[in-house]
């Protein structure tokens, strides 16, 4: 029995080429993305470092190496120190709130109930909607004259007739408002990530705890939270990265004011370099974010590795 | 149709050698089974022949042609995977047509070939379905149809029955053998299941540790194992291996004859052998006896299997006079595990 | 059934969910209420802001669509979004497959490296990038955004797609290679058609990320007609001291809610991308 000639002549003789070699094909398929990322992320990243050691401004054509001068200037600039402190307060407070609130919400959302999809959609809205637009919504809610918060507080009797907080106009209130908006914005991500972690705990473990007689709080603190901890940390680290580097909320709500009381590193870098034209000074300010990011990255990698070994 | 040959074929992964110099020839139209435990290198060997894994050294020849550097598609082979690897986004008909289209077969001929293959495997009514709508047995048939549709020189089958339930597996085994007979295509079949190997193979290559321990017809491999590994791997329960005076004496559990059981013919006289029964397992279709040979190796547990047709009453805790054809005894070197020439069984009366 | 402890737990649970949902959704609800309110109703401190003291109006939306650049910005956003999505697919799909299947352990490290670039924020990159954009003569042009936006979509989507490709059984592509395709052919003919869900997810997320971007848009684009929604609405609709709150809220609501609904359909896969490696199974 001979096989009928089904194949095109010459087909079988075609030897192995690049399209067959895992090694070469792999490199070829990866190259464009790596090249692009090198050009648009790695090169500018190195340029940013270069700028921070030079005196480049929007006008200069021949930058000069100035060593650590930009960093020294920054550290002597009260506005910078204020922004550094604000960034720390703003990101630490907001992320602490996010962890606590997101855990509570995730645990509440674990139950099945009707309309869960709608609740999930609504809770995710702040994360998905462009934050610049969401912040505009808050700008209107915090309006000095027509703030719906103030109106409500007065009409339920919490605010007396003489008090009328200007949310974005008084330094402490402004910081609190910025933190509040940031919590609003990053909580959905942390909630959904935690929810994923919760649902990946095998039901057996919950059942075993139940059989062993653990009450709600013992169950929560001894079983559930420790098991969700690694994934909760992932959520926190991402939240930290997003909040430390974010300038949008500040830009839209307060422009860093009043009196730089809400200025953060990211927004300061923007105002210095783009509005002020001091590219090198701005780059130096932005680079102060780098240690935080590096620590977050290392921790993320550690977490990922540990989870894989377990 | 073609022969398949490997010459000193080796595959090293970082840290270990998966296939360690295999010389194997599969004859034209032959059904050869690669049998071995998991991790013995049988699947790696198959994948190298398929071209899915590149060899570290050695040659692979299909139809007398060296195919070392040819990609899988150029080797004129077809393969059935353990998972069947059906294309989940394509209908059954398109799955079967896939290899033909990939080879650029003329459009007019494709439909006819697909129908022919479908008819052969009795899956005509499934042609419009998607793989996820099929049962395990149906998927297996589709995978076979897809493999044979373009008339490959060689079939490579990687445990194609292991995902079927036990009842279906016997049926599928029978069908598979019939198709292979009818098509006469050279076939290499990988399995860890000795029943499949015995039932399907024209010859069996038993593999362990990356090498072929024995190559032969099923009965040959069963009756005349080349070493203790083969002796222990084939048969259920496996061959008893009893150390007696510096050699390992092997015999099959069914070869120790109970009192009253008929002796086999043409294998020489049966000598008496006392068997102390410690436990009896009734399996319905027969009985398994656990115990020792007090005259030869009082410390070595052995298993004896009694057929359904043997009605002798056997009780635990007693010693009986069994018999054994001396020609059934195989002798192995306890150091190397290899077979050594037969010798008279030294009886060692301890009591 | 009527265990009082259980019922109390349920009530607390419901309360928690209701409170958080209210917190999350309130600004959007507020946008909807505001966008239909007459200005004189909005700007009267004595009026209850939760109810319509004057009949609702579509005037703000008319102004938004007819008298502002809103629709222009929608067009710009779509233009940039579609192009960035295409670039992202072209770069990230092969890269994700390569990292998942072809490059072995070295690729795993490289994949992590690529993902880490996602953590490098625009805040650090926008200064040198503005220089680069000027050098290329792309200031104030949408092409500047098309060029730069993939810098955050590609790393994330490569990572996401790598996860998708990893879970496709290897057998299937090997079968395609035996059935007559090269490795590349198997990828194109079998893996890609099997990955429709992954590709769709990539498209939605790239587009969402483009919609959310603010810093580069603010830095590279100067003229109002070249802006995208996320920058145009908060900067050019708020110019001067007069806030057109009705139109502004309408713009915010209409630009954020549709994409959010689309996104919601794919969010689980997206979260999987964030937590690859940190959760098993």
Q: pLDDT per residue over C181-212, tens digit each? A: 999 999 999 999 988 888 988 898 899 899 99
What are A304's two structure tokens?
């990922």
Mutate to test the interface with A, among C103, C110, C123, C153 (most CBs of A within 10 A): C123
pLDDT band, residue A10 (cuts 50/70/90)? very low
Is pLDDT above 90 for C1? Answer: no
> Helix, strand, or coil here: B23?
strand
Residue A4 in contact with partner chain B when CB distance is under 8 A: yes
Cβ within 8 Å of C, A 107-136: 108-109, 111, 113, 117, 119-126, 128-136
Which residues neighbour A218 within 8 Å (Cβ) at sequence distance 6 or greater?
A: none
Nearest to A15 among B70, B100, B109 (CB): B70
> Helix, strand, or coil here: B234?
coil
DSSP of B222-246: HHS-SBHHHHHHSTTTT-EEEEETT
Sign of the torsion formed by the C-alpha atoms of C52, C57, C60 and C64: positive
What are A134's two structure tokens?
């969401």
pLDDT at A305: 66
Residues of chain B with Cβ-Cβ distance to A15 below 8 Å are 69-71, 74
Residue B309 in contact with partner chain C when CB distance is under 8 A: no
Residues of chain C with Cβ-Cβ distance to B77 below 8 Å are 178
Length of chain A: 310
Angle at the Cα of A159 (from A156 to A161), degrees rounded to 5? 110
Residue A69 CB neighbours (<10 A): 16
Which pLDDT tens digit goes with each residue over A197-236? 888 788 888 888 888 877 888 888 888 888 888 788 888 8
Cβ within 8 Å of C, B 118-137: none
Q: Are A6 and B108 in contact (CB under 8 A)?
A: no
Domains in chain B, ordered, with CATH?
A: 4-223 (3.40.50.300), 239-340 (2.40.50.140)
Task: Enter the ipTM.
Answer: 0.86
pLDDT band, residue C151 (cuts 50/70/90)? very high
pLDDT at A12: 41
- What average pLDDT is seen over chain C? 86
Contact C121 A274 (CB under 8 A): no
pLDDT at C187: 93
Is pLDDT above 50 for C277? Answer: no
**Omega into A258 within 30° of 0, i.e. cis?**
yes
Which pLDDT tens digit goes with each residue over C59-97? 889 988 988 899 999 999 999 999 999 999 999 999 999
Contact A125 C24 (CB under 8 A): yes
Instruction: Give the range among A111-115, B287-291, B299-303 with minimum mean pLDDT.
Output: A111-115
Contact A137 C31 (CB under 8 A): yes
Residues of chain A with Cβ-Cβ distance to B109 below 8 Å are 6
What are C79's two structure tokens?
């233009």
Residue A38 in contact with partner chain C when CB distance is under 8 A: no
Nearest to B71 among A1, A4, A16 (CB): A16
Domains in chain C, ordered, with CATH?
A: 62-275 (1.10.3720.10)
Residue of A nearest to C216 (CA): A270
pLDDT at C154: 94
Contact A40 C151 (CB under 8 A): yes
d(CA B126, CA B317): 59
pLDDT at C271: 63
Which residues neighbour A216 within 8 Å (Cβ) at sequence distance 6 or greater?
A: C9
Average pLDDT of the segment spanning C54-59: 88
> Chain B interface residues facing chain A, Cβ-Cβ under 8 Å?
1, 69-71, 74, 76, 100, 103-105, 109, 113, 150-153, 183-184
d(CA A265, CA A267): 6
Contact C252 A137 (CB under 8 A): yes
**Omega into B237 within 30° of 0, i.e. cis?**
yes
Domain ranges of chain A: 76-309
Is pLDDT above 60 for B350? Answer: no
pLDDT at C262: 82
Average pLDDT of the segment spanning B140-149: 92
Residue A22 in contact with partner chain B when CB distance is under 8 A: no
* Distance to chain A for C223, nearest Cα, Å: 15
Start-end of H helices in chain C? 4-35, 39-42, 59-67, 70-97, 104-117, 122-135, 142-148, 150-166, 170-178, 183-186, 192-194, 196-212, 215-220, 229-236, 245-264, 267-275
pLDDT band, residue B192 (cuts 50/70/90)? very high
* Distance to chain A for C76, nearest Cα, Å: 15
Residue of C nearest to A146 (CA): C45
pLDDT at C281: 29
pLDDT band, residue B40 (cuts 50/70/90)? very high
Contact B71 A20 (CB under 8 A): yes
Contact C178 B72 (CB under 8 A): yes
Start-end of H helices in B149-255? 166-183, 194-200, 218-223, 228-233
Nearest to B87 among C172, C177, C182 (CB): C172
pLDDT at B347: 59
d(CA B46, CA B19): 10
Is pLDDT above 70 for C272? Answer: no
Average pLDDT of the segment spanning A126-133: 90
Average pLDDT of the segment spanning A13-33: 79
Helix or strand run (H / E) with residue C208: helix C196-212
Contact B103 C180 (CB under 8 A): yes
Instruction: Give the range among A230-234, A300-304, B46-50, C227-231 with minimum mean pLDDT.
Output: A300-304
Residue A23 in contact with partner chain C when CB distance is under 8 A: yes
Is pLDDT above 70 for B1? Answer: no
Which pLDDT tens digit goes with each residue over B83-115? 999 999 899 999 999 999 998 889 889 999 999
* Distance to chain B for C140, nearest Cα, Å: 45
> Helix, strand, or coil here: C186?
helix
* Distance to chain C for A250, nearest Cα, Å: 12
Residue A162 CB neighbours (<10 A): 5
Which pLDDT tens digit goes with each residue over A225-279? 888 887 888 888 888 888 888 889 999 988 887 888 889 999 999 998 888 888 8
d(CA B218, CA B225): 10
pLDDT at A7: 43
Residues of chain B with Cβ-Cβ distance to A25 below 8 Å are none
Nearest to A7 among B71, B104, B184 (CB): B104
Q: Which CATH number fits domain A76-309: 1.10.3720.10, 3.30.565.10, 3.40.50.1980, 3.40.190.10?
A: 1.10.3720.10
Instruction: Give the range among A160-174, C21-35, C265-279 with minimum mean pLDDT.
Output: C265-279
Nearest to B71 among C177, C190, C194 (CB): C177
Average pLDDT of the segment spanning B298-316: 88
């Amino acid at each position: 029995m001979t096989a009928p000639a089904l194949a095109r002549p010459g087909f079988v003789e075609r030897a192995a080429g690049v399209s067959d070699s895992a090694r070469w094909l792999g490199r070829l398929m990866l190259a464009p993305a790596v090249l692009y990322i090198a050009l648009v992320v790695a090169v500018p990243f190195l340029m940013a470092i270069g700028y921070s050691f030079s005196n480049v401004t929007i006008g200069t054509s021949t930058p000069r190496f100035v060593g650590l001068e930009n960093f020294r200037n920054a550290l002597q600039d009260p506005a910078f120190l204020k922004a550094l402190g604000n960034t720390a307060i703003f990101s630490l407070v907001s992320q602490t709130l996010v962890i606590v609130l997101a855990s509570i919400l995730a645990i509440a959302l674990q139950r099945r109930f009707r309309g869960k999809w709608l609740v999930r959609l609504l809770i995710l809205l702040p994360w998905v909607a462009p934050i610049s637009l969401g912040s505009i919504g808050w700008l209107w809610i915090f309006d000095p004259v027509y703030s719906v918060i103030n109106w409500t507080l007065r009409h339920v009797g919490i605010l007396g007739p003489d008090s009328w907080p200007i949310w974005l106009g008084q330094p402490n209130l402004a910081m609190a408002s910025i933190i509040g908006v940031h919590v609003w914005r990053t909580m959905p991500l942390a909630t959904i990530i935690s929810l994923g972690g919760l649902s990946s705990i095998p039901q057996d473990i919950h059942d075993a705890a139940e059989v062993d007689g653990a009450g709600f709080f013992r169950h929560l603190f001894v079983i559930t939270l420790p098991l969700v901890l690694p994934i909760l940390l992932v959520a926190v680290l991402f939240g930290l990265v997003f909040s430390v580097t974010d300038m949008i909320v500040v830009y839209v709500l307060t422009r860093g004011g009043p009196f730089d009381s809400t200025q953060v590193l990211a927004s300061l870098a923007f105002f210095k370099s783009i509005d002020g034209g001091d590219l090198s000074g701005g780059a130096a300010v932005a680079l102060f974010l780098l240690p935080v990011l590096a620590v977050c990255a290392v921790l993320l990698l550690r977490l990922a590795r540990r989870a894989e070994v377990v | 149709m073609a022969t398949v040959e490997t010459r000193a074929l080796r595959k090293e992964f970082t840290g270990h050698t998966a296939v360690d110099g295999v010389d194997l020839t599969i004859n034209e139209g032959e059904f050869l089974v690669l049998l071995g435990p998991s991790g013995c290198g049988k699947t790696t060997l198959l994948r190298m022949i398929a071209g899915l894994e590149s060899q570290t050294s050695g040659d692979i020849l299909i139809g007398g042609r060296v195919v070392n550097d040819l990609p899988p598609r150029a080797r004129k082979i077809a393969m059935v995977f353990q998972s069947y690897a059906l294309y989940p986004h394509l209908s059954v008909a398109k799955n079967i047509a896939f290899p033909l289209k990939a080879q650029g077969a003329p459009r007019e001929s494709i439909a006819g070939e697909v129908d022919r293959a479908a008819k052969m495997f009795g899956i005509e009514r499934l042609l419009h379905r998607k793989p996820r709508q099929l049962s395990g047995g149906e998927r297996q048939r589709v995978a076979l149809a897809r493999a044979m549709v373009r008339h490959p020189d060689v079939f490579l089958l990687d445990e194609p029955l292991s995902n079927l339930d036990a009842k279906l597996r016997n049926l599928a085994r029978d069908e598979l053998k019939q198709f292979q007979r009818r098509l006469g295509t050279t076939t290499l079949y990988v399995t860890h299941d000795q029943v499949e190997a015995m039932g399907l193979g024209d010859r069996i290559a038993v593999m362990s540790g990356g090498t072929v321990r024995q190559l032969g017809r099923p009965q040959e491999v069963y009756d005349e194992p080349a070493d203790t590994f083969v002796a222990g791997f084939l048969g259920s329960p496996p061959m008893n291996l009893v150390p007696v005076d510096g050699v390992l004496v092997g015999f099959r559990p069914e070869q120790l004859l109970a009192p009253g059981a008929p002796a086999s013919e043409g294998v020489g006289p049966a000598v008496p052998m006392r068997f102390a029964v410690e436990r009896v397992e009734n399996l319905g279709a027969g009985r398994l006896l656990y115990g020792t040979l007090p005259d030869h190796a009082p410390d070595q547990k052995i298993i004896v299997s009694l057929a359904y047709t043997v009605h002798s009453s056997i009780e635990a805790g007693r010693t009986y006079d069994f018999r054994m054809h001396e020609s059934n005894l195989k002798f192995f070197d306890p150091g190397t595990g290899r077979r050594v020439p037969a010798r008279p069984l030294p009886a060692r009366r301890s009591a | 059934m009527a265990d009082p402890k259980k019922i109390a737990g349920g009530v607390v649970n419901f309360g928690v969910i209701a409170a958080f949902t209210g917190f999350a959704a309130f600004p959007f609800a507020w946008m909807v209420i505001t966008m239909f309110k007459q200005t004189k109703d909005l700007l009267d401190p004595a009026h209850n802001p939760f109810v319509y003291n004057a009949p609702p109006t579509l005037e703000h939306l008319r102004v938004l669509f007819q008298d502002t650049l809103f629709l222009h910005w929608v067009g710009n956003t779509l233009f940039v979004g579609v192009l960035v999505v295409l670039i992202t697919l072209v770069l990230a799909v092969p890269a994700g497959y390569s990292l998942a299947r072809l490059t072995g352990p070295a690729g795993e490290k490289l994949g992590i490296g690529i993902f880490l670039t996602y953590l490098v924020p625009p805040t650090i990159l926008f200064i040198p990038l503005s220089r680069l954009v000027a050098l290329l003569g792309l200031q104030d042009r949408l092409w500047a955004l098309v060029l730069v936006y993939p810098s955050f979509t590609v790393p994330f989507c490569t990572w996401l797609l790598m996860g998708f490709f990893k879970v496709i059984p290897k057998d299937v592509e090997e079968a395609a290679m035996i059935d007559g395709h090269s490795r590349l052919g198997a990828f194109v003919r079998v893996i890609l058609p099997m990955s429709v869900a992954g590709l769709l997810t990539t498209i939605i997320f790239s587009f969402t990320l483009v919609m959310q971007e603010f810093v580069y848009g603010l830095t590279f684009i100067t003229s109002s007609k070249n802006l995208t929604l996320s920058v145009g609405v908060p900067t050019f609709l708020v110019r001067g001291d007069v806030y057109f709150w009705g139109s502004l809220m309408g713009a915010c609501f209409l630009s954020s809610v549709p994409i959010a609904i689309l996104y919601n359909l794919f969010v689980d896969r997206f979260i999987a991308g964030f937590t690859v490696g940190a959760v098993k199974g």
